[in-house]
Copies of this chain bind each other. A is one copy, B any other.
Amino acid sequence: MSRLEYVKILGIHSSPRRYGETYKLLRIALEAARREGAETDIIYLGEYSIEPCIGCVSDDILACRFPCIIGDDSFNDIGRKMLEFDGYIISTPVYWYSASGVLKNFIDRLTSMENMIYHTGKSYLEGKVAGFIAVGNDTGALTTISWLIVTLVSMGVHVPAWSLAYHEQKTGVENNRAALLDAANVGRVVTLSAKLLKSQKTWYDASLEELVDNTLPRILGEVEELEKKLKPLREKLWSRKTSS
């Protein structure tokens, strides 16, 4: 197995209950990740005491960096561990249509890793891959997962096809075949895509400013021509309005 084919996937479990449905789905996902050749591990956020982010970036964008200045080593230890992994599977219970408070605090603290853009030119999470599991007694799993996905993508993390699984019932997830199969596929797609995407070292390229400068004038010119042609058609509509 070449170095590029070797990937490590980390489960990040954010339920305060370690014996619930969320955990079962995470375990299934990690089994599937191993079947695809990944090495896996789990972090239980509930066993750490992760302090809330204090929003230093609002004072000074450069004040926020990894390791985070907040003096609990909890978060920084987890952050260091994350650097060694290629992909993450984040599992959360659904509390009020959203991630657990523990996970929210954790995500907010990840700002310290993402904000390294301003210090080193690159988010410490860039190029990682993530999948998501959410479990609740009621609706809201989708609200939870859509927020997690857009947040991770905004930190530089890839989100592969089908990388979400959820269970929104009061009964045990062992009776929800669709959720179990989806969770296994979360493990699969995170592992497969982590392998395929690993060779690319840089994703966000700030030097594209040059392409912007070179092409923008032409695009603006073309858009102006379109406006000249199309806007009068609209103006006719508006004039009609006054008589109605």
Contact = CB atoms under 8 A, between A and B. Distances in A.
Interface of A: 15-20, 23-24, 27-28, 31-32, 35, 52-60, 63, 65, 67, 69-70, 93, 95-102, 104-105, 107-108, 111, 126-127, 137, 139-143, 145-147, 149-151, 153-154, 156-164, 166, 168, 174, 177, 180-181, 184-185, 188-189, 192-193, 196-197, 199-200, 203-206, 208-209, 211-212, 215-216, 219-220, 222-224, 226-227, 230-231, 234, 237-238, 240-241, 244
In the complex, the 5 A-B pairs of residues with the closest C-beta atoms, listed nearest first: A101-B105, A19-B227, A146-B150, A184-B208, A104-B104
B234 A212 contact: no
A161 B157 contact: yes
A108 B126 contact: no
Nearest to A102: B52
A98 B241 CA distance: 27
Given A55-B17, A174-B220, A63 B238 contact: yes
B212 A19 contact: no
Given A18-B230, A32-B211, A196-B196, 13 more contacts: A18-B226, A55-B95, A57-B137, A60-B238, A69-B244, A101-B108, A105-B105, A139-B140, A143-B146, A146-B150, A181-B209, A184-B211, A188-B203
B101 A59 contact: no
Nearest to A180: B212
A150 to B, nearest CB: 4
13 contacts: A20-B58, A28-B215, A60-B238, A65-B241, A69-B238, A97-B142, A142-B143, A153-B162, A159-B159, A159-B160, A174-B216, A192-B203, A196-B200
